[in-house]
């Protein structure tokens, strides 16, 4: 059974939030039991990591207030 990790934080995050989120995603992406993780904070950024149907890791960090990415891009694999 896949695990779903959701972290919601209202605590202030460090100034280097993007670097911290990238590091967390890379650690989670290395664990084969983690299929999806999402981190939402009280700031303007959120990050998500998941495994695509073909087994690739998908990770993104984006501005929460931006429109969602188009669904046809979901198969693109990249690491922050």
pLDDT in tens, 52-67: 667 776 767 777 666 6
Is 79 inside any structural domain? no
Higher pLDDT, 55 or 7: 55
Which residue range(s) make up the domain with 30? 3-73
Q: Look at residue 38 and tell me if it is in a domain.
A: yes
pLDDT digits (tens, 9 = 90+) for 31-60: 777 777 777 666 677 777 777 667 776 767
CA–CA separation, 28 vs 2, rounded Å?
A: 13
Does residue 54 fall inside a structural domain?
A: yes
Kindly state whether residue 78 falls inside one of the protein's structural domains. no
Residue 52, number of CB atoms within 10 A of its CB: 12
Nearest to 60 by CA among 22, 17, 20, 15: 22
- Residues with Cβ within 8 Å of residue 52, at least 6 apart in sequence: 58, 74, 75, 77
pLDDT at 33: 72
Indicate the number of domains in the chain. 1
80 is a domain residue: no
């Amino acid at each position: 059974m896949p695990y779903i990790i959701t972290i919601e934080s209202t605590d202030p995050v460090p100034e280097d939030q993007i670097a911290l989120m990238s590091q967390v995603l890379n650690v989670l992406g290395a664990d084969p039991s983690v299929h999806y993780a999402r981190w939402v904070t009280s700031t303007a950024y959120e990050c998500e990591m998941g495994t695509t149907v073909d087994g690739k890791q998908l990770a993104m960090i984006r501005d929460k207030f931006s429109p969602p990415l188009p669904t046809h891009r979901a198969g693109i694999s990249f690491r922050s």
